[in-house]
A and B are shown apart, each in its own frame.
Chain A
Amino acid sequence: MTDRPLTQHIDLSRPPYDLAQYEDVGGYAGARKVITEMTPAQGLEILKDSGLRGRGGAGFPTGVKWSFVPMYNTPAPTKYIVANADEMEPGTFKDRLLMEGCPHLLVEGMIVGAYILQANIGYIFIRGEYIEAAQLLNEAIAECRKKGYLGERILGGDWSFELHVHTSAGRYICGEETALLNSLEGKRATPRAKPPFPQVSGLWGRPTIVNNVETLCNLPQIVLLGADWFKQLSLTDDAGTKLYGVSGRVNTPGCWELPMGTSARELIERHAGGMCDGYQLKTFLPGGGSTPLLLPEHLDTPMDYTHIGKLGSRLGTGTVIVIDDQVDFIGALKNLEHFFSQESCGFCTPCRDGLPWVEKALHNIECGSGSRADLDWLRRATWMLNMGNTFCAHAPGAMGPLDSALKFFPDEFERRLP
């Protein structure tokens, strides 16, 4: 039994496995097992028992999310499953590895998931810049159609499933699941009001599940090897493995599949080879650009949803961004807030108008022309643009690094004021 269900077949020094090669190493055994030996309800039960939590950033238990999808007796209306492959969180580079390294794993994960949900149509919503990944996925899908893993009456049963790749055209907000659905319908990617939740009324008003690539890639091995196997992969109570990454001034930046709960110290010092000569770790974002900063004293905390949550931050995507002692700290913060400001969909006022003001205040402070009013505005923004005051989680996400920066490094702001 593998201890790396996501990356066991990934070797970037060769092309990814085609269908025959993937089957030779046990590929599609998970799909075969769930379709020929299990009812959808049994599949969902294993998924719930496994404790798998969404790997896109929110960490919501996948089995619980899926249990809200209505199950019909025939004739059933269309249901959809969507892979969120719109990897755009700053500092995140894990789904690219999965799709470029083993496209068949995602296709199999979607087949397993679609069977459990009894979905008939699936889309892989992939960002426009991931040209190679989109091409590899299209090739994998074509192979599966030919082989009968996709199409009518799969493996002789009465369930049919078709899968398509949708390539997007930019905009971070497409990663928000309801905005993604609007985008998939060919509209501007503004988020939708919830409820109704997509599980009940999603794409074109039909039941729809949207999950991150890494989440879906876990499914084949979970149905094949069981919930207990999946739980024992982890060092903590949050089950499974996790794709962790480190970028910034470290010796060997990269992305690795490790047991859930591996500490940031182990990631940075062991896997990423430590800080580059002459650089010290000042602070780090544990899981992408919207996750609140953590300090060197937090390096030994297990990197899982529960423990990082208790520190007031979020595991997010699990890709650590290291900020060293020589980076212009305010400049780095401005870079992040510029991103969020630019990527606001413009639908709600606090986000559309507030984020550019945050960027402007940071710009003033960075240039030495800031005032007490700029700093006061930044402090005010951390609640005005936060949860409850905005339509979706975009602006609150942007406040994550800002709020923690004001809390941990007030002097960085004060000493730049004239």
Chain B
Amino acid sequence: MAPTRAALISCLSDEEIAEIRAEASHYEYPQAASIEALKVVQKHRGWVSDESLREVARLLDMSAEQLDGVATFYSLIFRRPVGDNMLMLCDGISCWMLGCEKIKAHIESRLGIGYGETTPDNKFTLIPVTCQGACDRAPVLLENMRLHTHLSNDKIDQLLAQTEAEKPQ
């Protein structure tokens, strides 16, 4: 990739660009790193804005439309702003049989939000995720990609208190 290109990129940080280029070096074509590049941006910013998307596309020699087609296909790429903390509740069959709907109801009553919503103070976003491959420890959720297992209402209360006490990322 031409070194001059970095100068054209104003929105992405040097760190983001370096991480994206490291991922792109694993493939024959830079476009192959599109998903990982979007994840790099998301790691730093929480979500992928139109502006970020355009600049990632430029960095990978793709059109923004092509990259948006990729971004909107994958469920773990967020094209809308999300809260400081992501709660991703597993709704796989084993978690469902062991009561994930009750856990969902408890989170909803505690935070006042349903699936796809963010609390007014921007602290939490709640979304469902597919089977997390931890069915022997159901029900489970991911809190900022950290796995929590054998969920109960008490565990949710502890988790919310702990997460709220921690500084937002």
Contacts and interface: CB of A to CB of B under 8 A. Distances in A.
Given A128-B39, A186-B32, A254-B136, A168 B74 contact: yes
Given A91-B94, A129-B129, A335-B93, A96 B134 contact: yes
A377 B43 CA distance: 44
Contact of B31 (A131, A166, A186, A324): A186
Contacts of A186: 27, 29, 31-35, 60, 70
A164 B69 CA distance: 25
A93 B76 contact: no
A129 B38 contact: no
B130 A170 contact: yes
Interface in B28-84: 28-29, 31-36, 38-39, 60, 69-70, 73-77
A175 to B, nearest CB: 11
Nearest to A285: B93
A342 B29 CA distance: 30
B92 A185 contact: no
A187 B130 contact: no
A89 B131 contact: yes
A90 B134 contact: no
B29 A185 contact: yes
Contacts of B98: 248-249
A319 interface: yes
Contacts of A332: 93, 96-97
Given A89-B131, A129-B142, A168-B35, A247 B136 contact: yes
B133 to A, nearest CB: 4
A289 interface: yes
B135 interface: yes
Interface in A313-335: 319, 321, 323-324, 327, 331-332, 335
A245 B76 CA distance: 27
Nearest to B96: A335
A343 interface: yes
A171 interface: yes
Contacts of B129: 129, 170
Given A185-B31, A335-B93, A171 B145 contact: no
Contact of A289 (B33, B39, B75, B131): B131
B26 A164 contact: yes
A93 B133 contact: yes
Contacts, number: 133
Nearest to B69: A188
A374 interface: no
Nearest to A130: B133
A169 B97 contact: no
A323 B97 contact: yes
A247 B145 contact: no
Nearest to B37: A186
A95 interface: yes
Interface string A228-256: 00000000000000000111110001110
A188 B135 contact: no
Nearest to A89: B131
B126 interface: no
Given A168-B74, A171-B75, A186-B35, A91 B130 contact: no
A87 interface: yes
Contacts of A184: 32
Contacts of B96: 331-332, 335
B135 A319 contact: yes
Contact of A91 (B26, B75, B93): B93
A144 interface: no
Contacts of B32: 184-186
Contact of B136 (A167, A255, A331): A255
Contacts of B137: 253
A332 B98 CA distance: 11
A170 B74 contact: yes
B131 A90 contact: yes
A87 B74 contact: no
B97 A131 contact: no
Given A92-B131, A164-B26, A186-B35, A321 B93 contact: yes
B107 interface: no
Contacts of A169: 35, 38-39, 74-77
Given A172-B130, A186-B27, A253-B137, 5 more contacts: A130-B133, A166-B26, A170-B130, A186-B31, A332-B97
- What 5 A-B pairs come out closest when comparing CB atoms? A170-B75, A247-B135, A169-B74, A186-B34, A253-B136
28 contacts: A90-B92, A90-B94, A96-B133, A129-B132, A129-B133, A167-B39, A168-B74, A169-B74, A170-B75, A170-B76, A170-B130, A172-B130, A185-B32, A186-B33, A186-B35, A186-B70, A188-B70, A189-B73, A247-B94, A248-B94, A248-B98, A253-B94, A253-B135, A253-B137, A321-B135, A335-B91, A339-B91, A342-B130
